[in-house]
């Protein structure tokens, strides 16, 4: 699992084009202020890593709490590694992460899975506002 996390002043996204044929058509755009934006890449070896979900949640909560952020946005970004998990696994993991964070008081958004998106990301300047994790 590769994570690129941003403490963002705001994150805007809009669906642009489908990358997976079997995902539903979606034309969406949204802006979320004061959010931890999580670009994630699920790798093939993640499919056999039972503790991964907990590690991801802990990393997200740790960094979000450094700035008191309660909004989390997930964006599937399969450009962080050459190894890639199946789309079904990645989507399922994303939904489980969403549920776990929602159940602990976070508001969670997901950009359209299986889409390229246009986005505008305003990130805070300090070094902790931009974190890369390999789990």
- Any domain includes 38: yes
- Any domain includes 58: yes
User: Rounded CA gap, 43 and 45, in Å?
Assistant: 6
Contact 56, 135 (CB under 8 A): yes
Distances (CA, A) of 80 to 3, 16, 30, 118: 8, 20, 24, 18
- Any domain includes 134: no
Predicted confidence at residue 77, as pLDDT, reads: 86
- Any domain includes 130: no
pTM equals 0.93
Total domains in the chain come to 1
- Per-block mean pLDDT, blocks of 10 residues, the chain (135 long): 97 93 90 97 94 96 98 90 91 96 98 94 96 95
CATH number of the CATH domain containing 50 = 3.50.80.10
- Any domain includes 133: no
């Amino acid at each position: 699992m590769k994570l690129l996390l941003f403490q963002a002043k705001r994150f805007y996204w809009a669906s642009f084009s489908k990358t997976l044929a079997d995902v539903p058509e979606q034309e969406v755009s949204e802006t979320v202020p004061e959010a931890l934006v999580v670009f994630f890449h699920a790798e093939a070896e993640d499919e056999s890593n039972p503790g991964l979900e907990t590690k991801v949640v802990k990393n997200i909560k740790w960094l979000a709490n450094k700035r008191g952020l309660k909004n989390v946005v997930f964006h599937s970004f399969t450009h962080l590694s050459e190894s890639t998990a199946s789309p079904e696994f990645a989507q399922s993991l994303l939904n489980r992460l969403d549920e776990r964070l929602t159940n602990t008081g976070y508001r969670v958004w997901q950009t359209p899975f299986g889409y390229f998106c246009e986005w505008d990301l305003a990130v805070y300047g300090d070094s902790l506002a931009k974190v890369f994790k390999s789990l």
